[in-house]
Chain A
Amino acid sequence: MVKENKIPSGLQEKTLMPSKQALKTGYRYTATIFLLFFIIFLPGCMKERKATRNFLDLGEFSATCLPNGCKEIRDGAGRRMLLVPRGQRPPKGYEGDRIIEIPVRRVVAYSGYVVSLLKAIGVLESTLVGVTREREDWTIEEVSQGMKDGRITYVGEPNAVDYERLRAIRPDVVFTWDQSAIPKIEELGMAGVITSTAKAMDLDTRMRFVQFLALFFQREEAAGRYVARLRAAIARIRAMHLSPGRPPKVIWGDIYEKRVMVEPGDSWAAQIIQLAGGKYLFRDISGAS
């Protein structure tokens, strides 16, 4: 015989079922919370500006305008430096900072990408004095000719720079991606600027990096025109709506002895491939370049 567990009717009404008013309040409360969630989160997808009047945001690089034409910049490693026009004094309170006089006159660049940007803003021939690849490896005619003429010096491979040769050519700034080289460069009395970032640059940051570089040469307008040309080219590619029936599978990387290194899925290389209608096979990977 099964006993029924009867609940006293009074108790059932008062304690097991919430009142209609309490339920309405609860629903309103929950709805408010979810609405707040979407109000906070969804607008984050909206496109936003990249600069204010005095501040330029370039991913992990940045520049803040200060009085007297000076600029406080941060390189790819978050190191703060002050760009001071020649003949000017740094603003009060910045005297102890790393100071670089601009426009920079003598430059060494580790990266071929930086060298190509120097050409884009029209300062390659007048400022580049050192590179880390031999003459035969260069396809930029100005560099090859400069090395032949002795104006540009090969200072050694990036992981084996000849610091005596580097000191001999007296650069104002060394643009490098190698953080471990910075202490030695600074000890030799030169300014080192890190051009790489902890996370791979996306396409927009990669395009606009030239605006960061241009600050050292006071060529901001030339950099702006270059970025505008790049944006126009990208817009033309987008307008083609490239979507082949079977998208080609693409990887982008370097193959060395015993290792293969690829660009992550959130990098500029992956975005270019996708823009061109390809399928980047490492799009699920994120991290450093």
Chain B
Amino acid sequence: MAVTLERIWPVLKGVPLAVLTMSLVTVDLAAGYLCLRENEDLFNPLNHLGLIRWGFTYAAIHPWKTLWLFLLFVLLFILAVNTLTCTTSKVLFLYRIYRNRAGLISKLFVHIMHYALLVILFGLLASYTFPGRYASSVIAVKGESTRIPGTDIYLELVSSDIDYYRGNRLKYLNGRTISVHFTIGLKSGETTVARAIGINSPFFFNGLGFYLEDFGPKSRSSMNDTPYVRLLVKRDRGTILYFSGTLLFTIGLALYLFRVFIKGSKPSRGPRNHGEGK
């Protein structure tokens, strides 16, 4: 086992593997863009079902249209292994060199960012693999309280702020929504709170994530002018991980920039031969 690891380690951490994998990811994503564009309703349920259930249902029925996504997971796994082995090699090398000298910690800042990327990737995978049993869409309007299935949480649309486009520059957008902000009232037992939500701007309450899926009216001249929101509610198990990864990345980046620009230190090149050191 040790002999095998010794032989494949240089391959795993090598630049050629990184370049090849990233090229294949690019190709795969190009194919995936085309599949996704033509088959949106095939991939939307991924948010509700999670990767495993989705794989055994929608993906099982449409294997060729979803193959690119599973290939992407394989390629990202290879890329993650490559990043992990390369970064770990460099960290070990730096530790050997600077073990009894000052300056070890500051040399590690850039590698913290690499590890943080892995944490973010893993968090996203956890988020899609385990959406929780009660991932479902809930519709809320003003004046009506709706219970989230499987919970004792009631929600209601408190207020809506929809901006419609007015102008001559983009006539086809005239009267259509360009930005939305909603306030959602939540009640669980004795606790009552209000939270703001918008497009790509979810909120979290009692361990559940609330994501804006749909809303109305979408235009001034809509047939039905009653404001409503449709929220995807799910227990997102990856949130802590990818927010932690983001925080770690930000810290590593800030410290690295501080070292380079404020203290004036030159960036560490690390070992020439990808971690082997001489």
A residues at B contact (CB < 8 Å): 33-34, 36-37, 40-41, 43-44, 46, 48-52, 55, 57, 59-60, 62, 64, 74, 77-80, 93, 96-98, 159, 178-180, 182-184, 186-187, 197-199, 258-259, 261
B224 touches which one: A36, A50, A64, A178 (CB < 8 A)?
A178
Using A62-B45, A199-B41 as known contacts, say yes or no to A179 and B214 having CB atoms under 8 A apart.
yes
Q: Which residue from chain B places its CB closest to the CB of A30 in the assembled complex? A: B23
Residue contacts A-B, CB under 8 angstroms, 12 given: A36-B24, A37-B27, A52-B60, A57-B61, A64-B57, A77-B214, A80-B48, A80-B149, A96-B149, A96-B151, A97-B150, A198-B214
- B-side contacts of A77, CB under 8 Å: 137, 139, 214, 230
Q: How far is the CA of A173 from the CA of B136 in the complex (A)?
A: 19
Q: Do A80 and B24 touch across chains, with their CB atoms under 8 A apart?
A: no
**B58 within 8 Å of A (CB atoms):** yes
Q: Is the CB of A48 within 8 A of B58?
A: no
Contact partners of A180 in chain B: CB under 8 A: 139, 141, 216, 224, 226-228
CB atoms of B224 and A55 under 8 A apart: no
Residue in B closest to A51 when the chains form the complex, CB atoms: B61
Given the interface pairs A40-B67, A79-B139, A183-B144, the reply to whether A74 lies near B45 with Cβ below 8 Å is yes
Whether A33 lies near B62 (C-beta < 8 A) is no
Q: Is B88 an interface residue (CB 8 A)?
A: no
Complexed CA–CA distance, A261 and B232 (Å): 29
Distance to closest chain A CB from B254 (angstroms):
37
Whether B41 pairs with A60 at a CB distance below 8 angstroms is yes
Contacts of B51-71 to chain A: CB distance below 8 A: 56-58, 60-65, 67-68, 71
- Give chain A's interface secondary structure class: mixed
- Tell me the complex Cα distance, A51–B28, Å: 26
Contact yes or no, A78 B144, CB < 8 A:
no
At the interface, yes or no: B223 with Cβ under 8 Å from chain A?
Answer: yes
Interface residues of B in 80-121 (CB under 8 A from A): none
**Number of A-B pairs, beta carbon distance below 8 Å:** 126
Residue numbers of B with Cβ under 8 A of A are: 23-24, 27-28, 30-32, 34-35, 38, 40-41, 44-45, 48, 56-58, 60-65, 67-68, 71, 133-141, 144-146, 149-151, 213-214, 216, 221, 223-224, 226-228, 230, 232
With A41-B31, A48-B65 in contact, do A182 and B139 touch (Cβ < 8 Å)? Answer: yes
Chain B contact residues: helix, strand, loop or mixed: mixed
Taking a contact as CB atoms under 8 Å apart, the answer to whether A37 and B57 are in contact is no
Contacts of A36 in B (CB 8 A): 24, 27-28
B221 and A50 contacting across the interface, CB-CB below 8 Å: no
Interchain CA distance A141-B57 in the complex, whole Å? 40
State how many angstroms separate the Cβ of A65 from the closest Cβ of chain B: 11
A44 to B31 CA separation, bound complex (whole angstroms): 10
Among A183, A197, A258, find the residue whose CB has the most chain B CB atoms closer than 10 A: A183
- Cβ–Cβ contact A184 & B150, under 8 A: no
A98 proximity list for chain B (CB < 8 A): 149
**Cα A259 to Cα B176 with chains together (Å):** 14
With a cutoff of 8 Å between Cβ atoms, the chain A residues found around residue B68 in the complex are: 40-41
Q: A78-B136, A180-B139 are in contact. List 15 more A-B contacts (CB 8 A).
A: A41-B31, A41-B68, A46-B64, A48-B62, A48-B63, A48-B64, A48-B65, A52-B57, A64-B57, A93-B133, A179-B230, A180-B224, A186-B146, A198-B214, A199-B41
Chain B residues lying within 8 Å of A79, measured Cβ to Cβ, are 136-139
**B57-A60 in contact (CB<8A):** no
